[in-house]
Structure 1
Amino acid sequence: MKRLRAATFALPGAIALLAAAGLFAALLGDGAWDVLAWLGLGLIALLGGWPLLPRWRNRP
Protein backbone atom coordinates (compact mmCIF):
# COMPACT_ATOMS: atom_id res chain seq x y z
CA MET A 1 0.00 0.00 0.00
CA LYS A 2 2.87 2.40 0.73
CA ARG A 3 4.24 1.85 -2.78
CA LEU A 4 0.95 2.93 -4.34
CA ARG A 5 0.82 6.01 -2.12
CA ALA A 6 4.37 6.98 -3.06
CA ALA A 7 3.59 6.57 -6.76
CA THR A 8 0.48 8.71 -6.38
CA PHE A 9 2.34 11.67 -4.92
CA ALA A 10 5.56 11.40 -6.95
CA LEU A 11 4.56 13.66 -9.85
CA PRO A 12 2.79 16.34 -7.77
CA GLY A 13 5.75 16.34 -5.41
CA ALA A 14 8.17 16.84 -8.29
CA ILE A 15 6.03 19.69 -9.64
CA ALA A 16 5.96 21.30 -6.20
CA LEU A 17 9.75 21.07 -5.90
CA LEU A 18 10.14 22.57 -9.38
CA ALA A 19 7.81 25.44 -8.44
CA ALA A 20 9.68 26.08 -5.20
CA ALA A 21 13.03 26.05 -7.02
CA GLY A 22 11.69 28.46 -9.67
CA LEU A 23 10.32 30.86 -7.08
CA PHE A 24 13.52 30.70 -5.07
CA ALA A 25 15.60 31.39 -8.18
CA ALA A 26 13.37 34.35 -9.02
CA LEU A 27 14.09 35.87 -5.63
CA LEU A 28 17.86 35.36 -5.75
CA GLY A 29 18.98 37.69 -8.48
CA ASP A 30 19.48 38.45 -12.14
CA GLY A 31 21.13 36.76 -15.08
CA ALA A 32 21.32 33.00 -14.77
CA TRP A 33 18.89 33.03 -11.86
CA ASP A 34 16.26 34.61 -14.10
CA VAL A 35 16.79 31.86 -16.67
CA LEU A 36 16.31 29.20 -13.99
CA ALA A 37 13.18 30.94 -12.73
CA TRP A 38 11.72 31.14 -16.25
CA LEU A 39 12.47 27.49 -16.90
CA GLY A 40 11.12 26.30 -13.58
CA LEU A 41 7.91 28.30 -13.63
CA GLY A 42 7.42 28.07 -17.40
CA LEU A 43 7.55 24.30 -17.35
CA ILE A 44 4.86 24.26 -14.68
CA ALA A 45 2.70 26.56 -16.81
CA LEU A 46 3.14 24.24 -19.80
CA LEU A 47 2.25 21.20 -17.70
CA GLY A 48 -0.84 22.96 -16.41
CA GLY A 49 -1.98 23.97 -19.89
CA TRP A 50 -1.26 20.61 -21.52
CA PRO A 51 -4.74 19.13 -20.88
CA LEU A 52 -6.35 22.18 -22.49
CA LEU A 53 -4.75 21.53 -25.88
CA PRO A 54 -6.95 19.81 -28.46
CA ARG A 55 -6.20 16.16 -28.97
CA TRP A 56 -5.86 14.80 -32.46
CA ARG A 57 -7.29 11.32 -32.67
CA ASN A 58 -8.11 9.17 -35.62
CA ARG A 59 -11.86 9.30 -35.72
CA PRO A 60 -13.84 7.38 -38.32
Structure 2
Amino acid sequence: MKPRHPFWALWGWPLAMGLLTCAGLVSALFSDGGLGDMLAWLTLGIPAAACIWFGWLRRS
Protein backbone atom coordinates (compact mmCIF):
# COMPACT_ATOMS: atom_id res chain seq x y z
CA MET A 1 0.00 0.00 0.00
CA LYS A 2 1.25 3.48 -0.85
CA PRO A 3 2.09 5.67 2.20
CA ARG A 4 -0.08 8.73 2.69
CA HIS A 5 1.36 12.14 2.04
CA PRO A 6 1.86 14.02 5.36
CA PHE A 7 0.11 17.13 4.02
CA TRP A 8 -3.17 15.28 3.40
CA ALA A 9 -2.89 13.31 6.62
CA LEU A 10 -2.78 16.59 8.56
CA TRP A 11 -4.96 18.91 6.49
CA GLY A 12 -7.42 16.59 4.72
CA TRP A 13 -10.36 16.86 7.13
CA PRO A 14 -9.94 20.58 7.91
CA LEU A 15 -9.92 21.35 4.19
CA ALA A 16 -12.99 19.19 3.61
CA MET A 17 -14.85 20.96 6.44
CA GLY A 18 -13.80 24.34 5.07
CA LEU A 19 -15.03 23.47 1.58
CA LEU A 20 -18.33 22.22 2.98
CA THR A 21 -18.75 25.43 4.97
CA CYS A 22 -17.93 27.63 1.96
CA ALA A 23 -20.34 25.70 -0.26
CA GLY A 24 -23.06 26.02 2.38
CA LEU A 25 -22.55 29.75 2.82
CA VAL A 26 -22.59 30.41 -0.92
CA SER A 27 -25.66 28.23 -1.33
CA ALA A 28 -27.44 30.03 1.50
CA LEU A 29 -26.52 33.41 0.06
CA PHE A 30 -27.69 32.78 -3.51
CA SER A 31 -30.55 30.30 -3.12
CA ASP A 32 -34.19 31.22 -2.91
CA GLY A 33 -35.88 28.12 -1.55
CA GLY A 34 -35.99 24.56 -2.71
CA LEU A 35 -32.84 22.56 -3.37
CA GLY A 36 -30.47 25.42 -2.59
CA ASP A 37 -31.81 25.80 0.94
CA MET A 38 -31.59 22.05 1.54
CA LEU A 39 -28.01 22.07 0.25
CA ALA A 40 -27.16 24.96 2.58
CA TRP A 41 -28.69 23.17 5.58
CA LEU A 42 -26.82 19.98 4.79
CA THR A 43 -23.42 21.50 4.05
CA LEU A 44 -23.55 23.80 7.08
CA GLY A 45 -24.98 21.13 9.35
CA ILE A 46 -22.22 18.58 8.79
CA PRO A 47 -19.39 20.79 10.14
CA ALA A 48 -21.61 21.96 13.00
CA ALA A 49 -22.43 18.35 13.93
CA ALA A 50 -18.73 17.42 13.77
CA CYS A 51 -17.86 20.32 16.09
CA ILE A 52 -20.54 19.26 18.55
CA TRP A 53 -19.45 15.62 18.40
CA PHE A 54 -15.71 16.18 18.77
CA GLY A 55 -15.87 19.30 20.94
CA TRP A 56 -18.60 18.79 23.49
CA LEU A 57 -19.81 15.20 23.48
CA ARG A 58 -16.42 13.49 23.41
CA ARG A 59 -15.04 15.15 26.57
CA SER A 60 -16.56 12.69 29.00
TM-score, normalised to structure 1, is: 0.79
Number of aligned residue pairs: give it.
55
**CA offset at residue 6 of structure 1?**
2.3
Q: RMSD of the alignment, in Å?
A: 1.9
CA distance in 1, matches of 2:20, 2:45: 10
Identity of aligned residues (%): 41
What runs of 5+ residues in structure 2 fail to find an aligned partner?
none
**After the TM superposition, which segments of 4 or more aligned residues of structure 1 sit over 4 Å from their partners?**
none
TM-score, normalised to structure 2, is: 0.79
Bigger Cα Rg: 1
What runs of 5+ residues in structure 1 fail to find an aligned partner?
none
